[in-house]
A and B are shown apart, each in its own frame.
Chain A
Amino acid sequence: MIKLLRFLNPYRSLLVLVLVLAIGQTAANLYLPNLMSDIVNNGIAKFDTNYIWRTGRIMVLVAIGGTLCAVVGIYYSSQVATGMVKAIRARIFNKVQGFSLHEFDTVSTASLITRTTNDTTQVQQVMVMILNMLITAPITLVVGIILALNQDVGLSWILVVMMPVLVAIIIVLLIKAIPLFTAMQAKLDKLNLILDENLTGVRVVRAFNREKHEEQRFDEANRDVTDIAIRVNQMIASMMPVMMLMINLSSVAIIWFGSLRVDAGKLQMGAMFAFLQYATQILFALLMVALMFIMIPRAEASATRINEVLEMEPEIRDPEEPRQATQQRGYVEFQDVTFSYLGAEQPALSNISFSASPGKVTAIIGGTGSGKSTLVNLIPRFYDVDSGKILVDGVETREMSQEQLRAKIGFVPQKAVLFTGSVNDNLRYGKEDASEDELRHAAEVAQANEFITKMPEGFDSMISQGGTNVSGGQMQRLSIARALVRKPEIYVFDDTFSALDFKTDAKLRAALKGETRESTVLIVAQRVSTVIDADQIIVLEQGRVAGIGTHRELMKTCDVYSGIVSSQLSATEIAEETA
């Protein structure tokens, strides 16, 4: 939390203002009892009605002043608190935009989202609370003590006794309550987990007749939660009355011992009243300060998560002096590339070497976990290789700027991602100034034209968040069209076609041929039928190249490949294909 306070720096002068206003507000609130005491001592006791009126007027002015301070103070403190969090949020988002997939893998996308949204909101809530409300508590505490002592030192021993007692009670209660709260949260999580499991697995629960069993499991967890919740709340039940009792006890003590001092002529009646009011304010302020110490740890967990993101350095950065790759167009070359994911025992790819050139189709096939996707993810430098080199247009990718490198590539991911906006917006994603004709043409090639024109507003139809209003296959075709609009030097299709039916797949690939004459094409595929026509097929197994060649060559030389083929086609069809 403290580390995040540096985001308050731009607000330093405003913060001082907020502090000054808070002092003004507190002073006004504390001055009122003082004036009241004057009314008692000089007005009532001396039957001076004029004095009472005069002081009354001053009191109203003081109340107005205090309120003005409070209102203006909150005006600025709200801006400071929300402004600070706005800056934090912006910094996180900026930072994350610079992250490579590597950082996304380590923190996980879901967690990054939570950190950018929920955690910052949490911090904001606490900051607002501190700056708007709790800021006056410590000031009240200090000023109140000074004023109380100013009224009468002789009674101050009551405060000296009460304050530590109150603090001790709070601490004891907290020490007892916090583990209970943690335990309750854990039990609640457990209960919710069971519920979630039952919802997700509703079919299996019913298929196996486990309703009764699951009900019992839920009931047990429910009982657990209830038991501990009762205990927690019973504990809290003692908190308020004890606090109130302590404060009431102090006022009674002040009246009794105050009266004795008044009798002895050491204290004026009005001063006693003033002291009484100060004492209550001080004790309440003490409660507030204690609360502040409860609030801050609540934001602490969020702050820690935020700091983690802010302190992360993206693994991939642009070179100081990027090299231009303008000599060649559409060449990709892997030279003995080895790559492992962070913390993995074995490399995901080992000693991969191959080259791909314009006008040629390179297909990559292999089982799950064989490293197909990993391989193509290395080309746009989503990750950096451990050893070896990847050259694009003759220049090593690490020597280029990421922007220049990626501008050469039309990337179609395994899981199609569309953004909120119209179909046109989505197609233009890779080329802002693409003309209508270009968009239409790309859509045609991607076999998307037909369904787009059937949509209510054609190319202007809106895609909802996450593309929920189009089917998976349609999303994939739009994603392909988006890459086509770019007219890139290198096409990467990461297992893109398996979401399409065979007809569309075949049509699309036929249409694609016309588009990719001058580009190099890399296709990751699961289906043999998709790769069969490729100029070269790279067969991966467990991160290693098991064979490179055409379908025919590989059928003869590569067992892994022929194994894959036989698992997908029957013997007669294999014979037909190879014939």
Chain B
Amino acid sequence: MSENSNTKRQTNQGGMGPMGRGGWGAMGRAVEKPKDFQGTLKRLLLYFFPERIRLSIVLGAAILGTVFNIVGPKVLGLATTKLFNDLVARYLVEVSNQSIRNKLAQSPALSQQLSPIPGIDFGYIGRVILILLVLYVISAVFIFIQQYLMAGVAQRTIYKLRREVDEKLSRLPLKYFDGRTHGEILSRAVNDMDNISSTLQQSVTQLITSAVSLLGVLVMMLTISWELSLIVLVTLPLSLFIVTGIAKRSQDYFRRQQRALGDLNGHVEEMYTGHKIVKAFGHEGKAVAQFDELNDKLYDAGWKAQYVSGIIMPLMRFVGNVGYVFVAVVGGIMVTQGSLSLGDVQAFIQYSAQFTMPITQLANIANVIQSAMASAERIFELLDEEEQVPEVAESELVQTAGHIQFQHVKFGYSPDKILMEDLNIEAKPGQMVAIVGPTGAGKTTLVNLLMRFYEVDSGKILIDGVNITRLKRGDLRCMFGMVLQDTWLFHGTIRDNIAYGRDNASEEEIVRAADAAYADHFIRTLPEGYNMVLNEEATNISQGQKQLLTIARAFLSDPAVLILDEATSSVDTRTELLIQKAMSKLMKGRTSFVIAHRLSTIRDADLILVMNHGSIIETGTHAGLLAQNGFYADLYNSQFRGRVLKEEEGVLVDLVADHQQV
């Protein structure tokens, strides 16, 4: 019976098939703890509020299902006791009859005293069995109801939580996304969510059933015999010691294993991504030697972790078995003394076996729930992030001629790193502004400010004389078109990608836009033309083609202001020509901000913004800036005037060519 309980425990957790997480090994693994358990729990419970009726049914069903199951052995005991007692009675009658028969020869009169052999009361046993059947079926039904309903409760709750996270993400300022890796955000939205989901699905009901079992079993044991109960309770500290003491050591090993695995993975990643260099410098042997060392460490921590966590179960089983033996012995003696029935001993043995199970289970669940709370905490953290500045209800401007002014704009991504102190620029409708200088913060900052992805620290940006904060973000962004190097294409058809800029664009308009961008021709040569699906990284068309598509998109959305990146070196010469042509066509009649690489563009610009390390350090026209003989002049001379070296100190001309790299 004791074995029975152990295997039952395994199936409970591991039997969920491909869903089963942790299962056997969950205990003893390293667990992450939430900072504020109570607060997180309370907040998570709020999400269950709409499901409270179903959840109460789940609770009720869990309690009833467990109770009915617990009563089983006791009822079964009635049958075996009856059987045993009837057998003993028969045995006694047979013994006395035998002795009578032995004396029968001397005095035949004694035959009168021969008792009829009593039968076994199968009517009674049958009734008990029937009751038992009903109990088991009811219990199974309740457990089913509980699990079945919980599926909906848990998944709907997760649905809600997931939707909230997604909606929150769309309200967060760009600052949030720029300050974190995608992996970090995804890990919250995906891994943490999964963790909560499976905990809700499995562990919450398990928590209830285990607690009820523990209590119920204890009660049942006490009703049978307090002496035997005492024996079982004596083993309790031993179980607790195993569950907590060994589990703690095992957690240490798991942490060590995790670290070793991290080191090894890091090495593998480094050697594989740097494979070319490893080979070029003949370092294969050293890479292997280092790998072997890390692999040894991982093995050492790994097998110990498996060993220590692996022996928890057999040790628990041992404690269970020792209790079993003592119950069997003491119970057996009590039966011979007549103070206990055999069925009760039988039932008690079953109960004592079920007693250790919920203890381990509860210890396990405690870990699982803690880690779920840590996950929930991280998700709530995300939900509590500061949102972007609320927008005005009605825009003061919907159409624009494209007149843009920066007035005393001060901006920096962090207060201690101000990029622009007092920026004043003006672009009149139809003018071209060239941005010259290194990449990175430069052009992104401009886009960030113009599109109001970031708020300025002070000063204002005006569009047709209206502060952009007086515009709804949506209306403001409609005024801009962007054709940047990190071409933003989505997994979807080419048509969808072009039409991304405008809802309800007609087929004709899409084709016209593609045609204007010189993209129509190449699109038609693609396997499915406009219906071709771009794969996830859009690697099934070339970089230049991607740019043509974004130009087509801009044509379709017909913005008043453009932000453009000039064509790059990663484009073949012919496509580059097309891109240039398409861009100049697009720029006609629109105010444009151009991240410029080509000298002709820069020279033709109405205004040049010279950027370095993300801040605008000089502004003016080509001639004006040359006359200043500052940074721009230096840049111009080194970049476009061949290879004249100017050894001035302190001026570190940063990589114009970086544009071409990124």
Verify if A154 is at the interface (C-beta below 8 Å from B): no
* 6 chain-A/chain-B pairs, Cβ below 8 angstroms: A113-B269, A178-B18, A230-B152, A232-B19, A407-B282, A506-B638
Q: Who on chain A is nearest to B299 by CB?
A: A86
Verify if B32 is at the interface (C-beta below 8 Å from A): no
Flag if A203 contacts B174 (CB, 8 Å).
yes
B406 proximity list for chain A (CB < 8 A): none
Given A32-B321, A117-B265, A269-B87; A128-B306 close (CB under 8 Å): yes
Q: Which of A99-124 contact B (CB under 8 A)?
A: 99, 101, 104, 109, 112-113, 116-117, 121, 124
The docked-state distance in angstroms from the alpha carbon of A208 to that of B643 is 43
Flag if A195 contacts B12 (CB, 8 Å).
no
B269 proximity list for chain A (CB < 8 A): 113, 465
CB distance from A419 to the nearest CB of B (A): 6
Flag if B17 contacts A208 (CB, 8 Å).
no
Which of A236, A260, A413 sits near B276, CB closer than 8 Å? A413
Flag if B15 contacts A195 (CB, 8 Å).
no
Flag if B326 contacts A56 (CB, 8 Å).
yes
The contact string, 1 if C-beta is below 8 Å from chain B, for chain A 232-264, is 111011111111110011011001100110110
Flag if B299 contacts A96 (CB, 8 Å).
no
Flag if B307 contacts A406 (CB, 8 Å).
no
Verify if B151 is at the interface (C-beta below 8 Å from A): yes
Verify if A181 is at the interface (C-beta below 8 Å from B): yes
B360 proximity list for chain A (CB < 8 A): none
Verify if B63 is at the interface (C-beta below 8 Å from A): no
Verify if B336 is at the interface (C-beta below 8 Å from A): yes
A388 proximity list for chain B (CB < 8 A): none
Q: Which of B299-320 contact A (CB under 8 A)?
A: 299, 302-304, 306-307, 310-311, 313-315, 317-318
The docked-state distance in angstroms from the alpha carbon of A263 to that of B125 is 12
Verify if B147 is at the interface (C-beta below 8 Å from A): yes
A125 proximity list for chain B (CB < 8 A): 25
Verify if A341 is at the interface (C-beta below 8 Å from B): no
Flag if B272 contacts A112 (CB, 8 Å).
yes
**A-B contacts at CB below 8 angstroms, number:** 464
Verify if B182 is at the interface (C-beta below 8 Å from A): yes
Which of A63, A81, A223, A502 sits near B306, CB closer than 8 Å? A81
CB distance from B41 to the nearest CB of A (A): 22
Flag if B288 contacts A97 (CB, 8 Å).
yes
Binds B, one of A45-53, A344-352, A436-444: A45-53
B8 proximity list for chain A (CB < 8 A): 284
Q: Which of B140-162 contact A (CB under 8 A)?
A: 140-141, 143-144, 147-148, 150-152, 154-156, 158-159, 162
Flag if A56 contacts B325 (CB, 8 Å).
yes
Q: Which of A365-403 contact B (CB under 8 A)?
A: 367-370, 380, 382, 402-403
B105 proximity list for chain A (CB < 8 A): none
Flag if A419 contacts B274 (CB, 8 Å).
yes
Flag if B87 contacts A262 (CB, 8 Å).
yes
Verify if B133 is at the interface (C-beta below 8 Å from A): yes
Flag if B318 contacts A208 (CB, 8 Å).
no
CB distance from A152 to the nearest CB of B (A): 15
Given A36-B328, A234-B151, A284-B11; A202-B174 close (CB under 8 Å): yes
Flag if B329 contacts A53 (CB, 8 Å).
yes
Most buried by B among A55, A208, A382, A465: A208
The docked-state distance in angstroms from the alpha carbon of A229 to that of B19 is 10
Binds B, one of A67-75, A317-325, A331-339, A355-363: A67-75
Verify if B625 is at the interface (C-beta below 8 Å from A): no
Flag if A273 contacts B346 (CB, 8 Å).
yes
CB distance from A78 to the nearest CB of B (A): 4
Flag if B190 contacts A192 (CB, 8 Å).
yes
Which of A71, A199, A218, A407 sits near B177, CB closer than 8 Å? A199
Verify if B509 is at the interface (C-beta below 8 Å from A): no
Which of B14, B266, B296, B654 sits near A465, CB closer than 8 Å? B266
The docked-state distance in angstroms from the alpha carbon of A242 to that of B141 is 9
Flag if A526 contacts B76 (CB, 8 Å).
no
Flag if A82 contacts B303 (CB, 8 Å).
yes
CB distance from B589 to the nearest CB of A (A): 21
Verify if B392 is at the interface (C-beta below 8 Å from A): no
Which of A90, A200, A233, A280 sits near B291, CB closer than 8 Å? A90
Verify if A215 is at the interface (C-beta below 8 Å from B): yes
The contact string, 1 if C-beta is below 8 Å from chain A, for chain B 511-547, is 0000000000000000000000000100000110000
Q: Which of B456-514 contact A (CB under 8 A)?
A: 473-474, 477-478, 480, 482, 488, 490-491, 500-501
Given A206-B453, A248-B136; A236-B144 close (CB under 8 Å): no
Verify if B418 is at the interface (C-beta below 8 Å from A): no
Which of A70, A83, A117, A499 sits near B264, CB closer than 8 Å? A117
Flag if B303 contacts A259 (CB, 8 Å).
no
Verify if A39 is at the interface (C-beta below 8 Å from B): yes
The docked-state distance in angstroms from the alpha carbon of A417 to that of B278 is 10
The docked-state distance in angstroms from the alpha carbon of A219 to that of B166 is 9
Flag if B119 contacts A280 (CB, 8 Å).
no
A470 proximity list for chain B (CB < 8 A): none
Flag if A195 contacts B189 (CB, 8 Å).
yes
Flag if A222 contacts B163 (CB, 8 Å).
yes
Verify if B633 is at the interface (C-beta below 8 Å from A): no
CB distance from A310 to the nearest CB of B (A): 15
The contact string, 1 if C-beta is below 8 Å from chain A, for chain B 254-297, is 00000001001110111111111111111110011001100110
Verify if A529 is at the interface (C-beta below 8 Å from B): yes
Verify if B215 is at the interface (C-beta below 8 Å from A): no
Binds B, one of A1-9, A285-293, A516-524: A285-293
Q: Which of A194-233 contact B (CB under 8 A)?
A: 195-211, 214-215, 218-219, 222-223, 225-226, 229-230, 232-233
The docked-state distance in angstroms from the alpha carbon of A280 to that of B490 is 56
Verify if B600 is at the interface (C-beta below 8 Å from A): yes
Which of A64, A82, A113, A280 sits near B299, CB closer than 8 Å? A82
The docked-state distance in angstroms from the alpha carbon of A241 to that of B14 is 15
List 14 additional contacts besides A125-B25, A132-B306, A201-B488; criterion CB under 8 Å: A32-B3, A78-B310, A82-B306, A83-B299, A195-B166, A240-B11, A255-B129, A269-B84, A280-B4, A284-B11, A368-B571, A409-B280, A501-B654, A527-B657
Given A67-B315, A429-B283, A472-B661; A259-B79 close (CB under 8 Å): yes
Flag if A196 contacts B303 (CB, 8 Å).
no
CB distance from A257 to the nearest CB of B (A): 10
The docked-state distance in angstroms from the alpha carbon of A63 to that of B328 is 13
Flag if A502 contacts B657 (CB, 8 Å).
yes
Verify if A59 is at the interface (C-beta below 8 Å from B): yes
B322 proximity list for chain A (CB < 8 A): 60, 63
Which of B136, B333, B478, B646 sits near A252, CB closer than 8 Å? B136
CB distance from B130 to the nearest CB of A (A): 9
The docked-state distance in angstroms from the alpha carbon of A94 to that of B148 is 50
The docked-state distance in angstroms from the alpha carbon of A233 to that of B76 is 32
Verify if B368 is at the interface (C-beta below 8 Å from A): no
A402 proximity list for chain B (CB < 8 A): 279
B211 proximity list for chain A (CB < 8 A): none
Q: Who on chain A is nearest to B474 by CB?
A: A209
Q: Who on chain A is nearest to B314 by CB?
A: A70
Flag if B270 contacts A367 (CB, 8 Å).
no
Flag if A236 contacts B147 (CB, 8 Å).
yes
Flag if A132 contacts B639 (CB, 8 Å).
no
The contact string, 1 if C-beta is below 8 Å from chain A, for chain B 360-378, is 0000000000000000000
Q: Which of A490-544 contact B (CB under 8 A)?
A: 498-503, 505-507, 510, 526-527, 529, 532
CB distance from A83 to the nearest CB of B (A): 6
Q: Who on chain B is nearest to A125 by CB?
A: B25
Flag if A109 contacts B272 (CB, 8 Å).
yes
Verify if A266 is at the interface (C-beta below 8 Å from B): no
- 6 tightest CB-CB pairs across the interface, nearest first? A237-B147, A233-B151, A70-B314, A56-B329, A204-B488, A284-B7
The docked-state distance in angstroms from the alpha carbon of A89 to that of B25 is 22
The docked-state distance in angstroms from the alpha carbon of A76 to that of B269 is 31
Flag if A47 contacts B276 (CB, 8 Å).
no
A244 proximity list for chain B (CB < 8 A): 69, 136, 139-140, 143
Q: Who on chain B is nearest to A71 by CB?
A: B311
Verify if B186 is at the interface (C-beta below 8 Å from A): yes
